[in-house]
Structure 1
């Protein structure tokens, strides 16, 4: 049933994105080309509307479908998340068309996050070893939830700089998240095995799959801030749901580290976006600029600067996401000592692959041969 919801989201997203392309091109709803942009011709940024359509329609179908409709029984959380998603898409579209000031955009992000925190899902547990810390204060719980959602939205927004990058990262990371949540619930002794986190990630992956063909290099449409922030909101909401299940015993089978699996996996999935966000804040603050000011210093820009092509930089980021996300997934299935050793080896190999163009250019004898040498 989850796969059916994923397919529904993909079909609707693909079709709706086609419609958004037509409207954006027909009405010439293009943002000015900025110095940091990687494209030279105007492209519509209304793709987030297609992703949102896929997400919203799939949720509505799920609410009336066998098995997954149990998630909606006496539970307003899915509708709170959908309401927050609608708010952030509206804010994102306004920013894509009008280029809002950073503080206005931040207010909009906070409003969407608060909608989710008040009417959707809420952080009630902070994972600690050996025992998780339970949050008793509603105000603290709402503030932490909103802060986490805003951070995740900005992380995904920052990584959205190359054609297909943010959508592909969301598909890979969301798939790992989906498989983990699904496996845990299918192997648990439960009367009701339906799960909101599993549904959210399934629908998110489907919506991004439907959008990606339109966004693959060279992109015919961009997801814009509306799409990137929507992905961040959904991913954060799914992570909050799974974190709240720590004390339920669902993760007790997770080989040696049961209390941190639900929070570790979302951070593994979001490692690259969060790393890019953190580096950007440090970089801009050190230069005396606002952390929200734009520049051309993101991770994907650095890959282009050392010699990667547009497509190869995107594929490399995909591979990093696979290593981190599925490495986190493996922790829920296999012994953590083995998984950590394999993950370390994989990351070492990926680090070498990532640095190879730079090392080849710098190392004597490894650079491109001159015409005289070739003769």
Structure 2
């Protein structure tokens, strides 16, 4: 596969996201779509109150348009690309993007209710969870009817494990769990965007190794979109992605993992997301059982903040951890 479509996807995602942000941020300010700082988090985060949110819209547009441009360029340069790559892979790509857009819409509803309707916590937890389950289930049904009917899960060191009908609830758990884990990671300036940029680079390499041209384009677009967004979100942030952006990114990460047929690779590539979620679960569980806290504050990035780490240091260290996870993922795939 020519590298031109991949480069075009990355560069166009960056440019579209950056240009969209230039116009979107002042627009959000005029609408007074400022972030309401919730009760959780360090007290000094209250100084960030009023920073425009829903900034995820900028990279949603950038990633979707850039992936389409990359695909069109690929088809233009290779008239047999659809047959060579396979219709099933392209359908996985389309369904994955649609799923991510569905999660992004749930996030948009959450942000809208929080910012416009002034209901601080946005959608109720039950409402959000049910919508996420529905989107995940529809995505799995779409994969099934498009021909992706394998119920085997490839595990590190164990190979493919046949789960039968259990595959579907496990897959749904991975989808919803990952989306919410990415959402938890969006807690300080530049964190979610930086970590997801590294994760996208990991999937760029993995999809290239495995020959998934469509997901190579998507990963390149996600990487470019994250960099374009970080121009405005790196500390001190001029805009936040909101649940609109974080749930979309969670869906995209899921789409890339399922798209290359390795959902369990998220154990490596998504190591930061997993640690964020586990820290929250451990904190809540221990406090309910013992009335004692394991961390100074959860998720774990707040623990390091409370320990005196700067936001820039946290972002740097967490991105390096994500990079290490992606390297392990590459070694696993090369050894399969």
Partner of residue 160 from structure 2, selected from 127, 132, 152: 132
**Whole-angstrom CA distance in 2 between matches of 1:13 and 1:283:** 36
Q: Is the 8 A contact 2:34 2:50 kept in 1?
A: yes
Decide whether aligned partners of structure 1 residues 39 and 311 sit closer, same or farther in structure 2, where only a CA change above 3 A counts.
Answer: farther
Relative to structure 1, the CA distance from residue 95 to residue 272 in structure 2 (aligned partners, 3 Å threshold; closer, same or farther) is same
Q: Does 1:84 align with 2:99?
A: yes
1:94-243 alignment to 2 at 5 Å?
94-98=109-113, 99-120=122-143, 124-128=151-155, 130-137=158-165, 140-185=166-211, 194-242=212-260
Cα deviations by residue, 1:53-86 (Å, 9 ceiling, x for unpaired): 1122123223422258635746422222222222
The CA deviation at 1:310 is: 1.8
Cα gap change, 1:284 to 1:130, in 2 (>3 Å): closer
Structure having the higher Rg: 1
> In structure 1, what is the Cα distance between the partners aligned to 2:169 and 2:332?
30
* Structure 2 residue ranges without an equivalent (≥5): 114-121, 290-295
CA distance 1:141–1:63, shift in 2 (3 Å): farther
Cα distance, 1:296 vs. partner?
4.1
Cα deviation, residue 102, structure 1: 0.9
Greater shift, 202-211 or 213-222, is seen at 202-211
Give TM-score scaled by structure 1 length.
0.73
Gaps of 5+ in 1: 186-193, 245-261, 290-294, 337-375
> Structure 1 pair 11/114, CA: closer, same or farther in 2 (3 Å)?
farther
> Offset at 1:180?
2.5
The normalised TM-score by structure 2 is 0.80
User: Structure 1 residues 212, 233: CA separation in 2 closer, same or farther (over 3 Å shift)?
Assistant: same
The equivalent residue for 1:13 is 17
With a CA cutoff of 8 Å and minimum separation of 6, indicate the structure with the bigger relative contact order.
2
3-state SS, counterpart of residue 72 of structure 2 = coil
Q: State the superposition RMSD in angstroms.
A: 2.7
User: How far is the alpha carbon of 1:161 from its aligned partner?
Assistant: 0.6
Contact 2:17 2:59 in 1 (8 A): yes
Give distance in 2, aligned partners of 1:77 and 1:328.
21
Give the CA deviation at 1:135: 4.9
Which residue is equivalent to 1:284?
Answer: 284
- Report the structure, 1 or 2, having the larger helix content: 2
More displaced 10-residue stretch of structure 1: 311-320 or 116-125: 116-125
Q: Could you tell me how far apart the structure 1 residues matched to 2:46 and 2:312 are?
A: 13
Query: How many equivalent residue pairs?
Result: 302
Tell me how far apart the structure 1 counterparts of residues 315 and 160 of structure 2 sit (CA, whole Å). 37
